[in-house]
Structure 1
Amino acid sequence: MTRLVRIGTFSAMTRLSVKALRLYDEVGLLRPAKVDPSSGYRLYALTQAGQAETIRRLRALDMPIEDIKRVLAASPAQVPGLLEAHRPRLRVERDRHDHMLDAITRMIDNEERLMDYTITVETLPSQTVASLRRRTDLAGVGVTIAEGFGTLVGAMTMAGRQPVAAPFLVFHDVIDADNAGDVEICIPVGAGAALAGPAGVRRVDAVTAAVTTHRGRHDEIAPAYHALTAWFTEQGYEVGGPPRETYLNDPAVTAEADLLTQVAWPMA
Structure 2
Amino acid sequence: MTQFVLIGAFSAMTRLSVKALRLYDEMDLLRPAKVDAFNGYRYYSLDQAGRAELIRRLRALDMPIEEIRQVLAASPEDVVDLLAAHRQRLRAERDRHDHMLAAITRLINGEESLMNYTVNLETLPAQIVAVVRRHTDHAGIGAAVAESFGTLVGFLTQAGRHPAGAPFLMFPDVIDADNAGHIEVCIPIESPVAATSPVQVNRLAAVTAATTTHQGRHDEIAPAYHALTAWIAEHGHEIAGPPRETYLNDPAVTAEADLLTQVAWPIR
The alignment's TM-score, normalised by the length of structure 2, stands at: 0.72
Q: For each residue in 1:172-198, what CA deviation from the matched residue of structure 2 results, as whole angstroms up to 9, or x when unmatched? A: 122112222221111112212223231
Q: For each residue in 1:56-80, what CA deviation from the matched residue of structure 2 results, as whole angstroms up to 9, or x when unmatched? A: 95995369x8x88986775324432
Q: For each residue in 1:220-255, what CA deviation from the matched residue of structure 2 results, as whole angstroms up to 9, or x when unmatched? A: 111111111111122111111111100000000011
Distance 1:59 1:149 in 2: 33
Q: 1:115 is paired with a residue of what secondary structure?
A: coil
Which residue of the partner structure matches residue 160 of structure 1?
160
Moved over 3 A (4+): 56-63, 67-74, 104-112
Which residue of the partner structure matches residue 147 of structure 2?
147
Distance 1:192 1:204 in 2: 12
Q: Please say if 1:103 is aligned against 2:113.
A: no
Give yes or no for contact 1:114–1:226 (8 Å, CA) kept in 2: no
Q: 1:117 is paired with a residue of what secondary structure?
A: coil
Please tell me whether Structure 1 or Structure 2 has the larger radius of gyration of its CA atoms: 2
Distance 2:119 2:97 in 1: 29
Q: CA deviation at 1:137?
A: 1.7
Aligned length: 230
Distance 1:141 1:113 in 2: 28
Give yes or no for contact 1:216–1:260 (8 Å, CA) kept in 2: yes
Q: 1:84 is paired with a residue of what secondary structure?
A: helix
- 5 Å-filtered alignment, 1:61-72, equals 61=63
Distance 2:223 2:85 in 1: 35
Which residue of the partner structure matches residue 188 of structure 1?
188
Give yes or no for contact 1:166–1:246 (8 Å, CA) kept in 2: yes
Identity rate, percent: 62
Unaligned regions of 5+ residues in structure 1, if any? Answer: 1-10, 22-29, 31-45
Residue 224 to residue 59, structure 1, CA distance change in 2 (3 Å): same
Give yes or no for contact 2:192–2:201 (8 Å, CA) kept in 1: no
Unaligned regions of 5+ residues in structure 2, if any? Answer: 1-20, 30-43
Which residue of the partner structure matches residue 24 of structure 2?
14
The alignment's TM-score, normalised by the length of structure 1, stands at: 0.72
Residue 13 to residue 221, structure 1, CA distance change in 2 (3 Å): closer
